[in-house]
Amino acid sequence: MTTDFLIFLYVVVLLVGLSAVALYSEMVRKRFEPTPSEDRIFRCRKCAFVYTDDPDADRSRCPQCGVTNESIQF
């Protein structure tokens, strides 16, 4: 075996190991990450309170002050 081949093999083994660790950590992160909610997000025009409501609600009443608000889009 030549020195060039040993260096190449060393680099390839390190890259494969690093890729395996990155893939494993990504799989673990996705498994334990919370799923996004389907609820709509509302922000009150009067008191600026941010709250959520059911996904089928177009308008919702603020639980803080009672003003009816429309959902906001991000």
Query: Per-residue confidence at 66, pLDDT binned at 50, 70, 90?
Result: confident
In the three-class reduction of DSSP (H, G, I as helix; E, B as strand; rest coil), residue 52 is classed as strand
> Distance between CA atoms of 3 and 26, rounded to whole angstroms?
35
d(CA 45, CA 58): 15
Taking only the tens place, the pLDDT of each residue in 50-62 is: 998 888 888 889 9
Which is it for strands 59-61 and 68-70: parallel, antiparallel or unpaired? antiparallel
- Taking only the tens place, the pLDDT of each residue in 7-39 is 999 999 999 999 999 999 999 988 888 888 788
Run of H or E including 15: helix 3-32
Report the SS3 class of residue 25. Answer: helix
